[in-house]
Structure 1
């Protein structure tokens, strides 16, 4: 039987909040101790995904930057590229942020841009101006359509945001996300994928689930 939220420990009600904890409590059938264990495991699993997500995000960013720099013949390629309004907005925001610093370079802008920005460069909006002339070369081990690649990255973007914003992931198909991260990283660099696997802790975290 589901316990009343009034029986939650004060630290859960005040620090995690009842609404945040409710999803865990429902999964645990109202058992507070089980829900707390599930919350702890969700945190452990999220931490395990951080490393592979780091490799994928940084690899995508730099691979696209290198190809676009070559295509437009300048470090600040975004000044020459035809980009969608939303992409221009994100670049403007990144530039304003780094311009507060005394010394800044185009590489600082690149580092400031979000994962969502780089994924957006794979969308249909940027097909002719970005994908066809340059971005496809960032994926030497991929031969499928741009649309499928973009869809895969959009799924990982949503998952990445859940992990980084401390949201529940316990109900998702985590082995599938695990496989997809490495598949996408392998499209960029098989060597990088093999290196990332050396310190991967996701399988161990998934095997440790007991709730």
Structure 2
């Protein structure tokens, strides 16, 4: 459906959006307000299209890493006794999840804890201070034809974490190289599960949305 942008409609749209929110789009549109709202809508479509691939990466990553933690430290690895040697803020994140689960009457078991931990926790496990965990356990999660370092995983994963946060807060992402971001998502999934990467790509609307740029 083609939306008709009349001056009156644009004024109504502006009244329901803050000037600060609209400013980046107006700037990109050369203060053409109709084009600005078209870019705003396109940004929303990009965010929606990226949500499923990002979800696929997060779920694949957390299952891969958590399975290695469970295999190495047992089903209650998140108690850290025994468990992996973690540093702030990761232990606090685990404690918060366990506390919240208990408060709601749920037993903090492996599945529930893993489901509640956020992207930042799993990315944090691949930071430089956990090089030993990478060499001992996490390197086995990722498979590549050539050499693969911890930084090869952490850097793009941390960048995608920032992208995901921007999407979650309804912020502009259209100034990013979305095609490169999407390729990075698929590459990271492929390191863990090539079949999952192909499946995610088969469901994706990213290419179609990119081609529809105003």
Q: Please, what TM-score do these two structures have when normalized by structure 1? A: 0.90
Q: CA deviation at 1:39?
A: 0.4
State how many pairs are aligned.
201
Distance 1:187 1:171 in 2: 27
For residues 209 and 11 of structure 1, the distance between their equivalents in structure 2, rounded to whole angstroms, comes to 20
Cα displacement (A) at 1:133: 1.3
Look up the SS of the partner of 2:190 in the other structure. helix
Choose the corresponding residue for 1:167, options 159, 162, 171. 171
**Paired position in structure 2 for 1:46:** 47
Q: What are the superposed Cα offsets for residues 9-54 of structure 1, whole Å, 9 maximum, x if unpaired? A: 24424x3210111000111111111111110010011100011001
Structure 2 counterpart of 1:206: 210
Runs of at least 5 residues in structure 1 that lack an aligned partner in the other structure:
1-6
1:120 aligns with 2:121: no
Distance in 2 (CA, whole Å) between partners of 1:136 and 1:30 is 49
Q: Which moved more, 1:143-152 or 1:51-60?
A: 143-152
Structure 2 residue corresponding to 1:99, chosen from 93, 97, 102: 102
Please list every run of 5 or more consecutive structure 2 residues that lacks an aligned counterpart in the other structure.
Answer: 1-8
1:82 shift after superposition: 0.7
SS of residue matched to 2:175: coil
Runs of 4+ that moved beyond 4 A: none
RMSD (CA atoms): 1.5
Contact 1:141 1:189 in 2 (8 A): no
